[in-house]
Each structure stands twice: as C-alpha cells, then as structure tokens.
Structure 1
C-alpha cells in the first residue's frame, strides 16, 4: 500500500514545475457524512511530506456530523484527548484547482496504508474489503454514475430556485430528457467535464435527466476500485465549485423537490479472477444469482449507508425508477439491482439504490460485501421483477429503524468492521436527533 517517497516527491516537483503560480495545496479526505476536511499546505511544505515527513491530522475529524459538529461516540471526541492520526498522500491525485479565484492545488490524503489506519475512515473501510477480496482472488471492476441538480445561485427564503436558461433567461422549470438542455447549459456542463478530466477523473457521458435542471455524469470503468470511489468524491467537489463560478449552485442532495425525481448514485460492478475471467458469468451465470442474493440479503441492513440522511430516505419510492423494496431484474430500472444487457465478458450488476449524496467509499464497500457474502453462501435470489412485479423484500425507511437494523447484523459487522459499524451508526443516530431539534413553520401551522 505504501508508495516510495521518491515517487511522491517526483509528482510534487513535476506539479510545481508545471504550475509555478500555485503556492498552496489543499490536502483533503472524506469524512463519514461525505464532506471533505483537511489542511491547506504551502507547496514547499508538501515536498517535505512527499519526502517522508509526518502528515498528521486529528483522528476525530472523520467523525464530524453533517453540520460539522462532534458527537460523543464511545470514548471518541470527548474522552480520548482528540489525538492526531497519521495520513499519507494518495499518489496520482495532486491536481490544479481551476474554480477558485487564486491558483491552488489539491491532493487526496488517507489513513489507509499507514501503520495505524483509522478503522472508521471511509476509504480505509473500502480498502479492507478490497484487500480481503484480493486474497480470495476476486478483482472488482467498478464504474459510478452520479445525478445532480443545478439551481440558481441565489436561494429564495432558503429554498432552491430553478436555474436560469442562459439563452432565454427563463427558469428551466420543465422536467424533460431533451438533448437541447445539454446545449443550453453547455458552458457550465463542458467546464464540469473538462475540470473533472483535469482532476484525472475519467468522466464520459453526460445526460439531461428528468428533473428540471437535473443531469447525470458517467465515469469510466476502473479496475482500481479505490480510484473509482476517489473519482466520485472528487467530482462532487469540483462540480460544486465550477457551478458557482458560472453563477449556479450544484447539489447532489437526494430529493430537492418532492414533485420531481431524486438524484441517485448508480454503481456498476463486475468481478474477475486473476486470469481476467468474469466470475459472474461462469457456470451459466450461477455466481451472478448468488451475488444478487447476497446483495439483497445485506441491503436492508446497510440502509444508513445507501440513504445516509432524512432527505435521502424521501427519495425512495413514489417516483420514476426509485425502488421501494429490495429487488432485482434484467434491464429493469425499477429494481435495486439491475442486470444490464451485455456479453459474458462485461456481465455486471448495477446497484441503483444509493442516493447521490451518499459516501462513495462506503457505498462501494457495502455493495462488495454483499457480493462477497452471496458468492460464499451460494443462496438463490428471490424472483426477478421480470417474472414477478411484486417480488422484493422490505427495507427500513426511517433512520432510527435503519440504524438498528445495521448495528446488530453479524455479517455487516464482520465484513465492514465492528468498530466502523458502531461509530457509523451512532454518527447517523446523533445526526438524525440533531435534525429533529428544530420547529419548522409547518409545525406551527398544524399545531399552534
């Protein structure tokens, strides 16, 4: 896991030579709710880190709630002295930041691969799952798809406004899939795509989605699953920045409008052996059925990962292509697990349940844990939706129910790590309770 300091040092020096006007670099990592935290380093100090100097940040920065506060979770935060923990630079991620007013760089950091990784750091959770699969001779190939909304830069009484059509200056308030929307918003969309490529992200297809001002971006398939999750995380950061530069607000919020479709994170996963054979396609695709069964079995117990907040739970059911139960099907977008039509070489599972604002490292870790569980237990799945439109199993749609279902499930604790599960569930519980501590206008209208 460790990268020689000479390689990192060469990367930093090459960056400085190519971008001599950059004085600072943001060293960033994703916390549990999916927000970036970190430090802004002078670029000359980054050379020292690349050469082997320690890089330490508070361990508990990973535990921040959605609003950035710390919760009492076991002995963390308030009874542990708030210790530092080592981080390392992620090679290949030092890139320029083009959406800020001043020249800047950014680079991912992580605790995975250090001598004492943080057990509940999202990237470390995924790294452990991947390491276990690798020891079993299983090599995932992964591609993310992310949906997001554009809004006007200014909020109206705290509420989002439809983006202004740059050609007519009218609000883009009509839901549609028209290709013309891509043309009308081409300036900001093209900049988002190019900025993503500048970050090293293999962004491919852009689609106008059903909701007003809603779009989807696809990423290339990668045999480096950690890097695929890095791409998803970095794209969210750069897209928000580019949108503001163009006078818009971009959001990956799961359900910004009740009357329009929510935004999802779709993850395509195929599994290969060391010789490059697709494991899901072997033996008349029987391993595919086992993998599906494992995913469906764990899905109700991973809901706090797939729908990590109150708003994300609103997205489930009642709108186009949003599942209401744990289900699967061939070429069926109403299913949680869709099997796209493909040749045996590219046979894969598309996991469609997660919200766009979920943590990509944890979403992928949970999906892979389900696939692994299915391949080991070799159970048969329930009927696909193609055979029975009522097929499916229930999953919790209230956060506290979802937390209880996750925290005490033996397989989830074994595959994702018991310490992570306890920390994550308490973080979600505390976030949910904090969210309830506000009386909104509707409550006064109903009960005053």
Structure 2
C-alpha cells in the first residue's frame, strides 16, 4: 500500500501530465463565514508539499469576518502573534479550474489530520464529529441540495437585476417551475454541471425553482461526510466562476429578493451501523423519532450556523417552504426536519432550515450533533405537522439573540467543541455589529 505522501505525489504528477499548461494551483480552505482563503502555489512547489514539505498558513485566516477583516476574539488575532498553523493537502481534490482566463488548478487544504489541528476550523469541527460517531458505530450517509440565483452580470445601483432570457433577451422575471427554463439557460447550467463533474462532484437532479432565475442542484449520496461537504463548498465556488464566464452573476445569498423565495441548503442524512443496517429504521422507526427530537431540541441553539448573517434571517417565514418554528413532518416541505417517503433501507431526515450561503461543514456538524443527542436522550419529539399544523417550538430570528442561545448550550459545547463555539459566536457577534455600523439611505428617508 502506498504511503500518504506517495499517494499525494502520484496525484500531483498525474495532474501535471494531464494538464501540462497549468503553472499554478490554488490551495484553498473554507473560513468561518464560508469563504475560501489560501495561496496560489507554483505547481512544481506543490510536488514538494506533496512529498512532505511543510505547508503553513496563518492560523487566524480561519477567523476572518465576512468582509475579510480580523476581529478581537479572546487572545486570537491581536495578542497571539498571528502564528502560522500547518495544513495538509486533501487527497483527491486536485482538479483543473476551467472558468479562469488562464489555465489553473485548485486543491483543498485543511488542518484536520495534522499534528495540531485548528479547533475552530470548520472542516476540523466536522471531522471530529464524524470521528466520534464512527467510534460509536454510527456511519452517516449524506447528500446536499443547494439553491442559487442567476442574476445579470451588471448590478443596477448596487442592486441585482433579473437574469436575461437567452432566447428573448427579456428579463427572466416570472417565478415558475417550468422545464423550459432549464432549456433556455442550458448553456450556463450545462457548463456548471460539467465543471462540477470535473471537480469530482456527482451532480444528480437539476430543478428550475420558484424564484426568477432560481435553480436547485442535487448531489449524490456519500458515505464520506467530509467529502459531501467538500462538494457543496467546491460547487459554490465553481458555479460563481462559470456564471461570470457566461455573462451572469450566480449567488447563494439567502434572500436576494424580499418578494421571491430565498435559497436554502437542504441536507439529507441517514445513519447506518458497520453492517450497513439503517439505524433510523430499527424498532418500528423509534430511533428516527428520537433523532428528530434531538435535532429539534438543539435547532434553536444552532441558528447562527443555519442563518449565518443578517440577510439569512430574512429568509425565514412569510414565503414558500420556509419555517419560523422548529418543527417536523412526513413529506412536508413546511417542516424544518422533513422525513421523505422511502423504504426502510433509505429512511432519512432532510434538514431544510439552513440558508444556501451557510458553511456546509458546520451545517452538517450541527445536524449530526442534533441526531447524536437525540439518539442518546431517547426522547419523543413534538407532534409532526401532519398531525398538528401548529406544532413547533420557537427559535431566534435575529443574530444577537441567536448567538446568546448558542454560546452556552451544553450539548453543543460538548458536541462541536467549546473553543469552536466561543470563537464562532464572537465572530458572528462582531460581524453583525460591523454590519450595523453604516447608515442606510432608508434611515435618512424616514428620520432626517
């Protein structure tokens, strides 16, 4: 069996053989707000890293705010000397970038699996949750679904414009689920799919969603939760790049139009034992009910993860299939936790609350901690919406309240890591306060 370094080195050399025109590779990782950061490496230097040379980036790059600034979070950023931290290459993620003007490659990097992982790095948080579940004999199978909007490439006074219909050159301003929209936007959608496949992502279903220029992409189910989250992150990056190449702007912003549906991140999760038996389906599906109860109990405390910014809270309520209370139901898209109809082998939950611009590593980690908590507490959930349309428990609908609900929740601090919870909550608190430090034109119209 090849060593880890030998496997990586073979991957880099094979890439160079297949893409001799590529001179640089972007080494990228997702920060707390869900943006990629990293370095552009000459491909010959990448061979040295694959062979075992150190790969170091500032530890605090993970802590960047939405606008890229650093916040004072404990002793991080301003009292720790801004130290470097080791990263490693993620095998199997070295792929060509086709949406840039010049030939380029990209590869994921992470601190998980290094000698001193960064406790608040999103991928490391998920890795620890998955490792703990595996030790307990629980093996998740995961699939993401992502909604996004296409806009015209040019903004109008800073505001998005409807994508232009390629056939009529009119604005695609009619919300619909018509299959013809997939045909009209086929060139850009096909390129998005083929580009994603070139990244190793398994794209399955494409849907024209309710909003004007809104689409949904489904990914295949994976036994590797880390890779499933990798797919969601990488698809978001490639989709934005492909859209620009075709004269559009693609965005996973949660609520770009108040009058049209927001964009969500739906996550399907089933749990199996080592023999491949669906744990949720055992004992007349009693574990499923316990898992749902755990998800709903922790959901109000996970809102800074599921709705990671001011705009994401706008998505909740008042539109189609967006709940304002923690609830569940069978085949019910108004529920935060939906149980799709399936046979016992494929029984799963569909978690529908997160916004499309949430961090996929953290969303999945929070969902899994909720399921784990429910299985261990073995409590019955509240009534499903199928039995009581008013069933549900309240959750925070603004960021500062959500942060307060998250920071001291014992099960979350234990399940996600106390250091991560403290860092994440302070990052969100500071981002929210920074967002408020600007007077909007509306204030002058109302109060001047």
Is TM (by shorter chain) over 0.5? yes
Q: Which residue of 2 aligns with 1:82?
A: 82
Kindly report which structure 2 residues correspond to 1:45-194, keeping only aligned pairs within 5 A, or say none.
45-194=45-194
- Secondary structure of the residue that 2:32 maps to in structure 1? coil
Runs of 4+ in 1 over 6 A off after TM superposition: none
Q: Distance in 1 between matches of 2:20 and 2:386?
A: 58
Q: Which residue of 2 aligns with 1:209?
A: 209
Q: For the Cα contact (< 8 Å) 1:300–1:402, is it kept in 2? A: yes
Q: CA deviation at 1:3?
A: 6.5
Q: Distance in 2 between matches of 1:414 and 1:242?
A: 40
- Secondary structure of the residue that 2:433 maps to in structure 1? helix
Q: Distance in 1 between matches of 2:48 and 2:205?
A: 39
Kindly report which structure 2 residues correspond to 1:378-397, keeping only aligned pairs within 5 A, or say none.
378-397=378-397
Q: For the Cα contact (< 8 Å) 1:3–1:91, is it kept in 2? A: no
Q: Distance in 2 between matches of 1:298 and 1:203?
A: 31
Q: Which residue of 2 aligns with 1:263?
A: 263
Kindly report which structure 2 residues correspond to 1:187-266, keeping only aligned pairs within 5 A, or say none.
187-266=187-266
Q: Distance in 2 between matches of 1:9 and 1:20?
A: 16
Kindly report which structure 2 residues correspond to 1:266-415, keeping only aligned pairs within 5 A, or say none.
266-415=266-415
Q: Which residue of 2 aligns with 1:31?
A: 31
Structure 1 residues 340-363: Cα deviation after superposition (integer angstroms, max 9, x where no partner): 000000000000000000000000
Q: For the Cα contact (< 8 Å) 1:299–1:370, is it kept in 2? A: yes
- Secondary structure of the residue that 2:322 maps to in structure 1? coil
Q: CA deviation at 1:97?
A: 0.1
Q: Distance in 1 between matches of 2:339 and 2:98?
A: 38
Superposition CA RMSD, Å: 0.7
Q: CA deviation at 1:418?
A: 0.2
Q: Distance in 1 between matches of 2:204 and 2:37?
A: 27
Gapped regions of structure 1 (runs ≥ 5): none
Q: For the Cα contact (< 8 Å) 1:56–1:87, is it kept in 2? A: yes
- Secondary structure of the residue that 1:189 maps to in structure 2? helix
Scaled by the length of structure 2, the TM-score of the pair is 0.99
Q: Which residue of 1 aligns with 2:9?
A: 9
Structure 1 residues 369-397: Cα deviation after superposition (integer angstroms, max 9, x where no partner): 00000000000000000000000000000
Q: CA deviation at 1:172?
A: 0.4
Gapped regions of structure 2 (runs ≥ 5): none
- Secondary structure of the residue that 1:420 maps to in structure 2? helix
Q: Distance in 2 between matches of 1:410 and 1:4?
A: 37
Q: Distance in 2 between matches of 1:215 and 1:422?
A: 35
Q: Which residue of 2 aligns with 1:443?
A: 443
Q: Distance in 1 between matches of 2:263 and 2:301?
A: 21
- Secondary structure of the residue that 2:156 maps to in structure 1? coil
Q: Distance in 1 between matches of 2:205 and 2:192?
A: 12
Q: Distance in 2 between matches of 1:6 and 1:434?
A: 46
Structure 1 residues 388-410: Cα deviation after superposition (integer angstroms, max 9, x where no partner): 00000000001000000000111
Scaled by the length of structure 1, the TM-score of the pair is 0.99
Structure 1 residues 234-288: Cα deviation after superposition (integer angstroms, max 9, x where no partner): 0000000000000000000000000000000000000000000000000000000
- Secondary structure of the residue that 1:288 maps to in structure 2? helix
Q: Distance in 2 between matches of 1:333 and 1:46?
A: 46
- Secondary structure of the residue that 2:105 maps to in structure 1? strand
Q: CA deviation at 1:101?
A: 0.2
Establish whether residue 42 from structure 1 lines up as the match of residue 42 from structure 2: yes
Distance 1:58 1:347, change over 3 A: same
Distance 1:3 1:192, change over 3 A: farther
- Secondary structure of the residue that 2:150 maps to in structure 1? strand
Structure 1 residues 168-215: Cα deviation after superposition (integer angstroms, max 9, x where no partner): 000001111100000000000000000000000011110000000000
Q: Distance in 1 between matches of 2:385 and 2:3?
A: 46
- Secondary structure of the residue that 2:326 maps to in structure 1? coil
Q: Distance in 1 between matches of 2:184 and 2:127?
A: 41
